[in-house]
């Protein structure tokens, strides 16, 4: 297993660092922009790119580019929601997502305002729908981005850190332990399991806010 894993990691590391970092930024931009996040596995691309990180500068560069890519994607989603939201919702892909999912996003935003923007970054489906939904609401871009920035920073640091830490640990142990590859897989798998659990817990605790619109919380959208 060590030989195969070393070959894979060397293959990724052989890609020009600038190109590798740019691809990760583009992937996360596509994932967070209009509905593409339902198709493009941006988180997988970021983890793969992070396994080739060498030194603090590459780590910081990748984190920054991923953050900027995520913010660009979120901003595109917001702008498209503001100018073309109803058309996108009624498009073939919008109808395929289902009216129920759109209603859940609207209810969640109506009840929780900026908190919904922050938490939705860590929830499946909603992380693609919320930017569009915000664009169709009365929430300002300034308020939207103020909640999106910390979520994107947290997400980016977590994913890049895990990928680089797993690869770094493997490279240190590969020559001494024949099961070093399993340690690498264990770190990645453990992180993905943790992400799955966090998403399930968040989804469960926030479900009541998605299922029905708030009676008196609509004004949270206009709070400064």
Q: pLDDT per residue over 143-188, tens digit each?
A: 999 999 999 999 999 999 999 999 999 888 888 778 888 899 999 9
Mean pLDDT, the chain, whole residue set: 86
Q: Element (H or E) spanning 27, and its range? A: helix 17-32
Give the sign of the dihedral formed by CA 206, CA 211, CA 216, CA 219: positive
Instruction: Name the token pair of 109.
Output: 């935003």
Closest to 27 measured CA to CA, from 45, 11, 39, 51? 45
Report helix, strand or coil for 176.
coil
pTM, entire model: 0.85
CA distance 108 to 111: 5
112-150 per-position pLDDT tens digit:
899 999 998 888 778 888 999 999 999 999 999 999 999
């Amino acid at each position: 297993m060590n030989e195969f894993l070393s070959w894979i990691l060397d293959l990724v590391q052989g890609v020009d660092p600038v190109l590798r970092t740019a691809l990760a930024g583009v992937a996360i931009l596509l994932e967070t922009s209009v509905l593409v996040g339902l198709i493009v596995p941006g988180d997988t691309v970021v983890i793969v790119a992070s396994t080739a990180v060498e030194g603090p500068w590459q780590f910081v560069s990748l984190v920054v580019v991923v953050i900027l890519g995520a913010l660009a994607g979120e901003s595109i989603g917001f702008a498209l929601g503001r100018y073309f939201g109803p058309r996108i919702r009624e498009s073939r892909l919008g109808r395929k997502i289902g009216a129920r999912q759109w209603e859940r996003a609207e209810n969640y935003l109506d009840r929780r305002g900026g908190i919904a923007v922050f938490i939705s970054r860590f929830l499946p489906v909603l992380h693609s729908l919320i930017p569009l939904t915000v664009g169709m609401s009365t929430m300002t871009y300034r308020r939207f981005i103020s909640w999106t920035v910390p979520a994107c920073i947290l997400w980016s640091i977590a994913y890049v850190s895990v990928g680089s830490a797993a690869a770094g640990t493997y490279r240190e142990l590969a020559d001494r332990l024949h099961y070093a590859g399993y340690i690498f897989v264990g770190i990645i798998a453990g992180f993905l399991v943790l992400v799955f659990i966090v998403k399930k817990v968040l989804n469960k605790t926030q479900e009541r806010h998605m299922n029905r619109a708030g009676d008196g919380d609509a004004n949270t959208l206009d709070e400064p």
